[in-house]
A and B are shown apart, each in its own frame.
Chain A
Amino acid sequence: MSTNTYDAIVIGSGISGGWAAKELTQKGLKTILLERGRDIEHVKDYVNATKGPWEFPHRGGRTVQMEKDYPVLKRDYPLNETNLDYWVDEKESPYTEVKRFDWFRGYHVGGRSLMWGRQSYRWHDTDFEANLKDGIGVDWPIRYKDLAPWYDYVEGFAGISGNHDNVPILPNGNFMPPMDMNCVEKDVAARINSHYKGSRYMIIGRTANITKPLPGRTNCQYRNKCWLGCPFGAYFSTQSSTLPAARATGNLTLRPWSIVTRILYDKDTKKAKGVEVLDAQNNQTYQYFAKIVFVNASTLNSAWVLMNSATDIWPDGLGSSSGELGHNLMDHHLGVGAGGLVEGYDDKYYFGRRANGIYIPRFRNLNGEKRDYIRGFGYQGGAGREEWGRAIPEFSIGGDFKDALTEPGAWNMGIGGFGETLPYHENRAFLDKTKKDKWGLPVLAIDATIKENEKKMRVDMANDAKEMLELAGVKNVQVYTSEAVLGRGIHEMGTARMGRDPKTSVLNEWNQVWDAKNVFVTDGAAMASTACQNPSLTYMAMTARAANHAVEELKKGNL
């Protein structure tokens, strides 16, 4: 047997790839985990995680040089001095924007599991049934009952803190104790919950920050520095959670600097036999062979790998027979919300920096309501007291002003919407063979935009935010709306959707590529719709379920 032969190959080490590696190795499969970027070792390589704010030369800000080097990243909050090394080098890895698409990438071991927002919400049957009911896209081949035990399973391992809120649209989960709302949030929630009498709720965020220890992990220390990597392993990441578990089996080989350029398809067996890897450091090409391949390179890059795996049988790439590969690209649209001042809590404050906020689950187009758009949106937000920044517009000076800077400022409360985006066939990514990256590989071109349904939804997103905050007693409520830009949600989905019919979908109900059954795609690419909840928890559950199926099928000799 060649040393390049394994039982399983996993492409990508982010949230879903880490889960695939953990599940497959724990079930006894010799697995190689291929990561295109460098290694980041847990704790040791979190170089900025234990610095005080004053230790950063620009106090965490962004320089003109950084803006030049990161023309995409600078478009939103991620560009900052504190975790610059966790974001892709945009010069090395460009892409083509047919229309503006903010693609925020992390090319290293752990991927975006190191920088993710950690909000973790289950889907509901309303979400799985939506495409069928609306006649949009394709019907999901799975329902809530298919994922429910896997949600239980991944929540237990990852550690999700949350409350059993009994919100009908948002199933409870296998939670650790919830974090607390502060005094303003608690009162605002009580007013919203009582006013809407069960049709709208405000709850504490459900987050992948643990509130009790897990093996090898300390509970959250309320530093709110998650995006630097957590020295306590208090939030779920590949490094803190799935990678150590996979390593403990003795079945894992992790190979950083490994750009998978294509999946090797064997037309005789109609299966993949392995992958080709370009070593990002020495530019040598290697081949790895395995019985099964898990594609977890993140939504857009998983599509890239499949499209770049063209053969004479599948000239548009592996999984392209339906004509849907690369299509139906989705995201959550955001940038609409409201905020204002809260009076009357001047003697109250909070201690510690909670890496979590509040959540208002979807309430539109439920229970028979029909707006002038379909689907819905949720809000994330929170309340807090202003700090020194409040002093800036006033230009005050002197000793009294200096003393006043130590006092907490006014309370304010804000919420921002996350809206569902529909799957549109014409929203797509494809190979741009006219442009090459640092390694001479064709780059991805992205051509996607929101449409009327999302635009109409954004009107409600703004108005409902204002209405709810005002009735909850928030003063001087200001609405903000910005242009909807796809990618900005950093919730890319679609491009290799699951479905019931190989003619209209790329993957079957077990995330297997219809055209090559031993290839599984279990990241955001598999999504047939987006719902409005943060998606990563669903990727985890889907991945564990698919890995279990893959091993069962292997045992039966079906793969």
Chain B
Amino acid sequence: MSNNATSFLEVKDLVVEYTSEGSVIHAVNGVSFALERGKTFGLVGETGAGKTSIAKAILRILPDPPAKIRNGQILLDGIDLLTLEEKDMRKIRGRRVSMIFQDPMTALNPIMKVGKQIAEVIKLHNKISNKQAEAEAGKMLELVGIPAERFNEYPHQFSGGMKQRVIIAMALACNPELLLADEPTTALDVTIQAQVLEMINKLKRDLNTSMIMISHNLGVVAEICDDLAVIYAGEVVELGSKETIFDRAAHPYTVGLFSAVPTLDEEKERLVPIIGLPPDPSNLPAGCHFHPRCPWADEACERESIPLREIAPGHFCRCIKVSAQEN
């Protein structure tokens, strides 16, 4: 899967570290995955797992310092983004790759008209007049379901769902090939979330945009992704197609996530929480980083770091207990 020649984006062995008050925070520890053109790849995990750091590394917008990309390659159509000059990277940001940020309340400039904010992106990447850019921005607003008459309004005049749609319009303004969506619906109400997800799905179909979807919500991932990786303590612990992960979750952390959430699909008398807490990323446990919380762990799990293995075609899992568990 990771060496597939048709891959549009390939992240290889990415390592991101933050330095804080003398200690090193291991945010992303050797993450690899690949995304085909027109597909959506999900990154699932809890707060602090390193999902957003991965997305920001792809766009090279990690704040340095404190963050440093220590290792890895990010190949977009075969070109390693990590080796590009900043001025070349600028041509890619917003144009070929763009990002939808999590919080619509803070991602917009409060003292700039929403239409202008979209036009600014278009103007930056295209040699066109202000007027043309504004006309184009008006069309983008319509595309995400906001009447173009609202071009001259300010963010505070919009509801949360509408602000998020403005951000999506901005991200899509230059028709990017790759969209990084960082929890795009987490701040929204469910009925508005349903509208936004529906819209993202439609835009993906119409424009054939490839997408990386970051979410902690398994339902959202089920709805929108083709393939996904489960991230724990900066590592991919399980990777495969949506069907594989949702039907045959193998890694104890993935299995734990599924039993910890209440759902509308089935009745659970009692939830089964994952015991303990996520590890301190500046002091990760030796061996498998999940072993202190894992119901299956024994001494072998603490001894050495665990490789990601292909346990079935296209299904990767980072656990030495798994084949035994599956039988």
Whether chains A and B associate is no
